[in-house]
Structure formats: structure tokens, C-alpha cells
Structure 1
Amino acid sequence: MKKQWLSNFVLAGIIRFLLMNSEYQKVISDRVEVSTALNSWKRVTEGVYLYNCGIDPYTGDLFHETPIGLYVFNFIQQHLSQWILFCLFVFTDLLTAVFLGLTAKQYATELVSKQKVEEKLCNENKETHNDASIVYTSMMYVSAGYLFNPYIILNCVGHTTTVFTNLLYSIALVSMTRSIFWNCLSISLLTLQGLYPVSLIMPAIIYITHSNSINRKRNIINYVIVFASIITTLFGISYYIMGSWSFLWSTLGFILTVPDLRPNVGLYWYFFTEVFEHFRWLFIASFQINVSLLYIVPLALRLRHDPMLLAFSYLAVTAIFKSYPCIGDVGFYMSLLPLWKHLFQYTQQGFIVGCFISANANFYFGVTLAFAIAQIFLLTDILFASVKHEFAVRHGINKDISGNTAKLLLE
């Protein structure tokens, strides 16, 4: 099993190296589906050059990374050769897969415990499960889903900063039940860069409430204090690096106001190209409320018993409705789908999602619209499958008919 695990990582690394050193690398990095205004390595290079020349990189509409990111990328470009830079991108991608595998291990262990309780509630006498096999399978599927996901591979080969963002996301997920500090640090860095990931605080707090600790309220207060302290410190460091708050408009302000309307896989660019100017701020407010506020409380209330599914839902909603998405964002949450393998028997929209996600059109926005619809169907199908699973457990429904597993339909 360890050989299979290792071989997956070796093969995934080789694929990335070969593509990075091929003639397709530049083509991939220039694709609008891969590189956006927020994650383009070309923009990073130009921003670092301006910074080294004593010019504020945030004065124009070019650079949108955080000052901390600017400092790190400046160090990388000054001290790393191109070959080592390739290694860094590949290593970061492989490390992300490791953390996602650990997340899967943690979640699979929770599911095994829940399943035993569910079988007692349903009075089912089933054969003993091989818990170790279930956990290992979940780890293998999730890590392989990330390593060999075409969206993730293209994202890495295109040298986008989403590679590092995905690493922070994976740290946030794996640390939800392990370390308050690392969870707060990763979410703070993500929030400083992209604003929307602040929603991941909710599943982390729910995990704390599910813990067996007698000091849950104190732990929640500690979590909030640690998060507020870290993000305040990060803003202070950013101000110290730049000497002003000019970066706020080019990072968080750029995400909220959507001034760059070049095509991407999102829904904003074409809509705001066509909308009348005097309605612009109304629709910007509507779009931003939709992605940042509208689903946080309802999903948290409904999925309070499954915080990992809640985190997945937030990641999916952000990838679908954020202002500057890329396929790297989509590939990240899709690689988590094997975590809910136990819900697949309740899903119904697999064929529709498959058709939509591979759809084509002679109008680019038509393709992006179909792509977004496919993701919405996928997310809602998983969430409805979760509801059906809870219904079956609560009412003790036996899904085995003549030795075959049946599907549960709620009408």
C-alpha cells in the first residue's frame, strides 16, 4: 500500500515536470481559465520588478498579491533558479496532496465511528468492517483526486499562485481538529489574500463545539482571539512592508469592486460588461452578498453535524461565485469528493453534471455558464444526498433489496 501511495506522488511529479519543460507550458500559463488577474505569475514577476525599482506596484492595475506575498515572491525570484522554481511549484502541489490525504484520514475515522453508531440505531447486524482499509482507501482516493486532477495539473504547470493558496486551504482543513494556531494562521493568510475564505472559521468553531473538552466556550473564545490577533498582525506587517495602506484597494478592494472584466471561468465578467453603469453598484453588492454572506448561516445550521461537509460547501460556493475564479479553485474542492463516497448511492445528478461540465458552445460565456451550472448541480446533489442519508439513518430504512443496494428518492 505504501508503494502505491509513493508511486502516485512520483508519477504526479513526473507529469508536472514534463509539462513544465514542454512547449505547452507557455500556452497553458496564458490561458484565461488558468491565470487570472489575481494569480498570474507574470503579474507577480512584473510586480516584484516594480518593487525592486522603488515603484509602488499597487499604483496601477497590475499587481494584486498581498505585501506579504510580494515579500516572499521577491525572495523566491532573487534566490531561486528557474529549475528550482519548477521544483518549488511541484513540491507545493505534492505537499497539498499529503495534507488532503491526512484530512481524508481524519474524516474517514470520524465516519467509521458514526457508522457504528448508525448501525446500532438501525439495529443492523452487518459484517465487521475493516476500518484500516476504509481509512486508507479514503486517503488514497482524495490524494489521487488532487494529484491527477487535470485542473490541478494545469494550475501547477501554468505557474499560478493558486498553487500556494491551495496549500493554505489544505492546512486549514487538516488543522481544524488539530491546531487552533495553524488553522487561524492559514485562514488569516487566505482572508488577507482573497476575503471569502473567512467563512472557514465557522466549520472550525463547530469542530470545537463537537469536541469532548469541558472548556468548549473558552476554546471558542480563544479561537476568536487568536484569529483576530493573527489577522491584525498580518495587516500590520503588510503596512510595515509597504509603508501605506495602498495595497488594500488593489487586493480586497479589487476583489469586491471587480474592475478587471477580462474573461475567466466565472460569472462576473460578462454580466458587468453588459450591465448599465448606474446599476453596477447594486449588482456588485448583490453578487458579493451571494458569495460571502448569503449561505454562511443557513448552511452552518443545516450541516452543523458535519463540519467537513460544511467546509466543502463553502469552498464550492466560493469557487463558483467568486469574482476571479480559476480552474485551480474548482479542482481543489472537486478533489475532496471521495470524502463523500458513502453518499454517492443517494446522488441523482451525475449524468447531468457530466454532460454540463463537458459542454461546449460557440460563445465563451455560454461555456462558463454551463460550467457554473454543472458545479451548482454537483454541490446541491451532494447536499441532498446528505439529507437522504440522514433520513435513512433516522428512520432505519434498509436500502438492500434482493441483495442489491437501492437508491432513496425524496419527492
Structure 2
Amino acid sequence: MRGILLLYGVGAVLRLWLLNTSTLADTIQARVELSTPLNGWLRVKEGVFLQSEGVPVYSGGVYHETPLMLFIAGFLIRSWSSWLHAVFVACDLLTAFTLSALAAAYTKKLLQEQEQQASQYTKDSAHLLLSPSTLQRCAGDVAAVYLLCPYTVLSCVAMTTTTFHNLLLATALLAMIKGHGVLFGALVAVVTYEAVYPAVILVPGLIALYQQQQDTATQGYCYPGKASPSGGWSVVGKSLLSCLATAAVLLLVSSEIAGGWDFIDATYGFILTAPDLTPNIGLFWYFFTEMFEHFRLFFLAVFQLNALVYVAPLCVRLRGDPVLLSTALLALSAVFRSYPSLGDVGFYLALLPTCRHLYPFLRQSFLVGCMLVASSVLGPIMYNLWIYSGAANANFYFAVTLAFNTAQIFLVTDLLFGHVKRQHLLMSGSSMTVDGQPARLTLE
């Protein structure tokens, strides 16, 4: 317990120290890797100022967040201005706590599932089985990664609204694994209303809720007793209804705050069409800077579909592991969204300790780690050489961001292959032969 309190204390002190060091905080807030046209606090403050002056907030190209975020930010700036730093730090600490609770529930589910399926495993796969001592540190590791990861620390110091999005997303995932269908649907609607791309967790959540209702009390992390045949579809229907009703209420309230429906084009239209080509850690800005205008619509559709097209096949393959499925989908959406930030990357990286049982099967962890570290260091250097020194050009910076995103794809691929390989070895044993000769599984 003392170690956990120390961990949270270090995370809070580190963030508060950076936030109250004006030179560092101003520099961090200006970094394009952290602040994008969608989450930058400077743009939020500009939107609040325009609203206070009676100027239509969405008539220009400055503010692209939702009206509800504008309302909340306006309240914080006017009434809690001296406590703003504490609000952001508290949200980050609460996110870490929520993720640790998620990890604790997930590891409990893994152990229960292993106990139920033990009869199906081969005798020579005993060394692959999970032990409580191995998984009991998982919750603390998740909190440690989120609290100390440079990506999440800097995102909080930059005062990006991604801090709030991560809290909503973590709470939605916790509601999913705890089986609270109505709450899960409502939270997915809220986080999708704010950032669009987190909608990818809706399908994994519905699958998880359905399975919980169909399982017995001894299987996984389900409810006590055996569910009725229609129980699974009932909770799915309630979750969908909750999601749709919450989304409708949010849009109606937003239209009242904004005084019309212009905000839809300025927020969701902005996300989908990506007209602002300010450099960031994503892929959109460079391609659409170099692209001929008559190809733009086609490639916009292709790029946006990349964030969604993997939902169906991954849900089919990983339907029994909703947390791994959600982690993979969030990682892919962090790569293929139009305006990604390091805060999005840091969130799903904090979920990796929940995949501790897959670590022995990872084959590209060293390569991925080196690529992430190298690109994280070289990115700001190349940007400064390009923008301030004039000693480089856009190709240098984009090469670094391309390596950064490639590393994320390698990471997701490695995790998924590790999961498939472990499942195969549990069911078929670790001794594999082909035509009487020793063989091993490889990814082609």
C-alpha cells in the first residue's frame, strides 16, 4: 500500500512541478506532438474568449472541440482558474486508478477462465499457465506505466483535453469488464461525442457483455447464476439504447449551447475531412500536403476506413479477450486517426501490462522499443531543424513520424501473434513436428 501511495505521489509531484515551471510548461504546450487542433488548451481558451465576446465560436478555424467541452472549459477558466493545474493532475491520477481497477478485474477473469478450461490444456503446457503471483502485480504496473510514461506525463503538462478523454475511456473500459451495460453504453457515447474514434470499443464491449450474460458464475468475470438465453441480447439492447439515447441528448444539449447545428461541421466534419495540415505524429498531414486535390476525397475515405476496417476481423478472432481486443483497436485508432497525439499512445501503452502472459511470445519487443525511443527523441529535433533552423525539411520530420507509427503497428502485430501462439500451445502442446521433424510457429 505504501508503494502505491508513493507511486501516485511521484506522479502527482512530477506533473505539478512541470506545470508550475512556466518556461517548461509553455514549451511543452506548444509541441505539435502533444497539442493538436483538436485537443490544444490554447485553442480552448481562445474559444472561451470568443464566446465571452459574443463572437460565433465555430465561424472561424480556431476552435474544433464540442460545445459541451467549451461549456466545461469556460466554467473551469472562470471559476477554477487557480486550480486548473490540480484539475488536470487529479484527472490523470483518477485515470491511473481506474486503469489499475480494470487490470485487477481482468487478471481475476484470466485466472478464473484458466481454471474452467484447465481440462482442455495439454500436459506439457503447464509452464504456460498463469499464476496468481505473476498477475497480482499487474494492477500496480498499469498504474505505474500510466503515471510515469513520458507520453501521458507530457500530455497532462500540455493541458490537452486528451486528459479528460482518457479518463472517460478508462471508465468505459472498466464498466465493460464489470458488466455494467447501461453505464458502458452511456460512456462510449460521451467519449465518442468528444473524440469520434473511441467508438471502436463499442463492439468489443457488446461482445463482452453478451458473453458475461451467457456464462455461468464460474466462468470468467460473469454474473452469478446462469443467464437466460435471451439475457445476452437483452443487455446488448440496453447498452445500445443507452448509447444512442446519451448521444441524442448530448447533441441536443450541444445545439442549445452553440445556438445551432454549425458545430457538427466544425467538429466532426473537421475530424473526417482533416483540412488543417499542421504537422503532428500522424500520417494525414504529409500525404495530403503532397496530394493533388482531385485525389483528396478518395484517400480521405481510405485513411479514415483504416481506423475502422480492422474492427470486424479482430472481433471475430479475439472475441474471448475483450481487453486485448480493445487495446489492439485503440492502438490502431491512435495510428490512423486524423489528429493523433502522444496522449492517445500513452493510454494504450498503459494497458500493455495486462498482456504480461504474452511477453514470452513477443519477438519484436526490442526492435519496437528502440524505434519508439529513437523516434521520440528525433521527432522534436527534426521539427526544430525544419521549422526554426531551416536546416531540414518536412521529409525529415515525416520520416520520424512514419517510423513511430510503424513501431506501433509492429507492436500490435506482435501482441496478436503472441496471443494466437499461446492459445495454440495451450491446446496442442509445445512439441510440434512436421513430417517427423521438429517445427516452430512463425509469422509470415
Whether TM-score is above 0.5 comes out as: yes
What is residue 209 of structure 1 aligned with on the other side? Answer: 210
| 1:319–1:410 CA distance, 2 compared to 1 (3 A) | closer
Give the superposition deviation at 1:369: 0.4
Count how many residue pairs are aligned between Structure 1 and Structure 2: 401
Matched to 2:47, the amino acid is G
Q: In the aligned structure 2, how far is the partner of 1:162 from the partner of 1:129?
A: 34
Separation in structure 1 between the aligned mates of residue 122 and residue 364 of structure 2, nearest angstrom = 31
Supply the distance in 2 between the matched residues of 1:276 and 1:141 (Cα, whole angstroms): 47
1:258-307: CA deviation from partner (whole Å, max 9, x where unpaired): 00001000000010000001111111011111113x11111111111111
Residue correspondence of structure 1 range 346-357 to structure 2 within 5 A: 346-357=361-372
Structure 1 contact 44–63 (Cα < 8 Å) conserved: yes
Q: Does 1:186 align with 2:202?
A: no
Shift of 1:193: 1.8
Give me the TM-score of the superposition, normalised by structure 2.
0.87
Which of 194, 219, 228 is the equivalent residue of 2:235? Answer: 219
Q: What residue is the counterpart of 1:75 in the other structure?
A: 75
1:324-343 aligned within 5 A: 324-343=339-358
What secondary structure does 1:175 align onto?
A: helix
Give secondary structure in 1 for the equivalent of 2:38: coil
Q: CA RMSD in A?
A: 1.9
User: Which one of the candidate residues 316, 321, 336 is aligned to 2:331?
Assistant: 316
Counterpart secondary structure, 2:345: helix
Structure-2 residue corresponding to 1:199 = 200
Is the Cα contact below 8 Å between 1:121 and 1:396 reproduced in 2? no
- Are 2:291 and 1:263 equivalent residues in the alignment? no
Preserved contact between residue 122 and residue 428 of structure 2 (Cα < 8 Å): no
CA distance in 2, matches of 1:135, 1:75: 42
TM-score by length of 1: 0.93
What's 2:60 paired with?
Answer: 60
Partner SS state of residue 32, structure 1: coil
Equivalent residue number for residue 140 of structure 1: 140
Deviation string 1:74-113 (CA, Å, 9 cap, x unpaired) is 111110133x111001000000000000000011011112
Counterparts of 2:131 and 2:9, CA distance in 1: 28
What does residue 45 of structure 2 align with? 45
Aligned partners of 2:43 and 2:86: how far apart in 1? 20
Superposed CA deviations along residues 357-393 of structure 1, whole A, max 9, x for unmatched, are 2144661000000000000000110011111011111
* Aligned AA (2:50): L
- Per-residue CA deviation, residues 117-137 of structure 1 (Å, 9 max, x unaligned), is 454322549699763x44530
Structure-to-structure mapping, 1:385-396, within 5 angstroms: 385-396=418-429
Q: Distance in 2 between matches of 1:352 and 1:118?
A: 34
1:248 and 2:254 equivalent?
A: no
Cα contact 2:34–2:160 (8 A) shared by 1? yes
Distance in 1 (CA, whole Å) between partners of 2:24 and 2:258 is: 36
Give the conservation status (yes or no) of the 8 Å contact 2:182–2:238.
no
Identity %: 40
Q: Which position in structure 2 is the counterpart of 1:304? A: 319
Residue 95 (structure 1) aligned with residue 94 (structure 2)? yes
1:324 to partner: Cα distance:
0.1
Separation in structure 2 between the aligned mates of residue 387 and residue 123 of structure 1, nearest angstrom: 16
Using the alignment, how far apart are the partners of 1:249 and 1:274 within structure 2? 24
1:356 shift after superposition: 1.8
* Cα distance in 2 between the residues matched to 1:232 and 1:56: 23
Q: Which residue of structure 1 aligns with residue 164 of structure 2?
A: 164
Distance in 2 (alpha carbons) for counterparts of 1:121 and 1:353: 34
Kept in 2, the 8 Å contact 1:16–1:153? The answer is yes
Contact preservation (8 Å) 2:181, 2:209? no
Give the secondary structure class of the aligned counterpart of 1:62: coil
Distance (Å, rounded) in 2 between the aligned partners of 1:140 and 1:3 = 12
Q: Distance in 1 between matches of 2:430 and 2:182?
A: 42
Q: Which amino acid aligns with 2:56?
A: D
Distance 1:278 1:309, change over 3 A: same
State the AA in 2 paired with 1:298.
P
Give the Cα–Cα distance (whole angstroms) in 2 for the partners of residues 185 and 135 of structure 1: 30
User: What's the CA shift for 1:177?
Assistant: 3.1
Is 1:367 equivalent to 2:366 in the alignment?
A: no
Offset from partner CA, 1:28-85 (integer Å, 9 cap, x none)? 0100001000011000001001111111111111101111111111111110133x11
Are residues 392 and 410 of structure 1, via their aligned partners in 2, closer, same or farther at CA, if it must alter by over 3 Å? farther
Amino acid aligned to 1:334: L
**8 A contact 1:38–1:324 mirrored in 2:** yes
Amino acid at match of 1:309: L
In 2, Cα distance between the equivalents of 1:366 and 1:372? Answer: 10
8 Å contact 2:165–2:195 — kept in the other structure? no
Match of 1:106 in 2: 105
Specify the code of the residue in structure 2 equivalent to 1:12. Answer: G
Larger mean Cα displacement after TM superposition, 175-184 or 195-204 = 175-184
Pair 1:186–1:310, CA change in 2 (3 A): same
Q: CA deviation at 1:350?
A: 1.1
User: Whole-Å Cα distance in 1 between the matches of residues 337 and 130 of structure 2?
Assistant: 41
The counterpart of 1:289, out of the listed 293, 298, 305, is: 305
The equivalent of 2:222 in structure 1 is none
Q: Which residue pairs with 1:4 in the alignment? A: 3
Deviation of 1:116 (Å): 2.7
AA at the equivalent of 1:121: Q
Which letter maps to 1:70? L
Q: CA deviation at 1:208?
A: 1.5
- Select the residue among 233, 248, 257 that pairs with 1:232: 248
Distance 1:182 1:266 in 2: 32
Q: Secondary structure at the match of 1:251?
A: helix
Q: Does 1:397 align with 2:430?
A: yes
2:138 and 2:327 mapped to 1: Cα distance? Answer: 16
Alpha-carbon distance in 2 for matches of 1:52, 1:106: 45
